[in-house]
Structure 1
Amino acid sequence: MTFENTTNPPARPARIVVVGGVAGGMSCAARARRLDESAEIIVLERGEYVSFANCGLPYYVGGEITDRRALLVQTPQSLKASLNLDVRIHHDVTGINATAHQVTVETPAGVQQIDYDALVLSPGAIAFRPSIEGIDSPRVRTLRTVDDAIALRSGVEAGAKRAVVLGAGFIGLEAAEALAHQGLQTALVELADHVLPPLDSEQASLVTDELRRLGIAVHS
């Protein structure tokens, strides 16, 4: 007499792939871990840094934050230790095969295919660059990532004397203040009638007065 083993093999843990490792993607990965302790969670980030403090970028440019490491809330190593997340930097997702549940990824070691059971897309946004003459000059910078902040500060430390900031939203104001703090002759340009367009003109005028007190030329 023989007996057959009818016990089903243990189910494989779900694999969750998150594209983007900054605010949205990392928050999602952390939440997924809290909901499922057994899941395999892979975070793919095209850049070098994950989970950094966006609000601190202007303060690094302005010199109030001296060490760029202070901008990093987490690292791949700390996320592995605390949440068992497999965070892979310099991994750029270039294709999705929804039928096969697979993503194509450009990595430092070459192109890879990674299977998934669930896929989260949180690649973030890019800074708007208006279609104007000269926008492709190497002296034109944006401020959205750690690399952007490093490049801006490098320009300041290389001896820049003047700066023009396009856009008088929250980041634009902080960038202008940071550059003025570094001693640059700074101008702030806004398409709308006043700085901080979500505010009414009376409130915005108080902000404009403060900017001018800091030596920033305001054009709106």
Structure 2
Amino acid sequence: MIESWQAPLQNGTTSEELLVQIDRGRNIRVLILPALFDEANKLRRFTIELMRALDRLEIDSFLPDMPGCNESLVPLSGLSLSALQAAATSAMRSLGATHVLAIRGGALLLPEGAAGWAYAPVSGAKLLRSMIRARTISAREAGRSESSEELQQTGRKDGLTLAGWEIGAEMFREIETAEPPVSGTVTVISQQELGGAGLWLRAEPGEDAAQTEKLAAILASSVGADG
């Protein structure tokens, strides 16, 4: 279940990254692009449980680490959003994925022309606002004063540490204007379709079996797989 894959880097080299996969050689093979940054931590358990639910419905799935993310040894601060997008496209090709499921900010990495789903996709600007707001609240509680405007200016010029993630200036500027490239080949799945509140809204990482099973069932139904 734990393998590795070679992710391309923007300097022309590659990095060996971890890959969680359930690969039984079935016809439907779903590449999962997980939530980004702080939301990735909150949704990691949900994402793994989703893979298990898809397996029960006769669907293979693949969850690759992107460079600079999760267990990657590549410094995130030196990467651009474009580099992560290129890595996602490479992962889809090298893993032989037939479909892509992008979760939240993972939709910003959707390969061009890919078929699949975007679960509760979010813009880059909204992701940044959420993390910047959390940083200003933390600073206030520590007796420091930081404004959103000042932090945004710093991020654009020098990069910024948000929720423990070292986001470089190039990536910060790209994320500010990034929108999920949702097309006619990608079906948007809203949180309302799953029921309850999104797990990314919780203070700590969590899971919800009902939401997991619902999302898996939506995917399976749309590709004609039902276990």
Could you tell me the TM-score, scaled by structure 2's length? 0.27
More helix by share: 2
More contact order relative to length (CA 8 Å, sep ≥ 6): 2
Question: Which of the pair has more CA radius of gyration?
Answer: 1
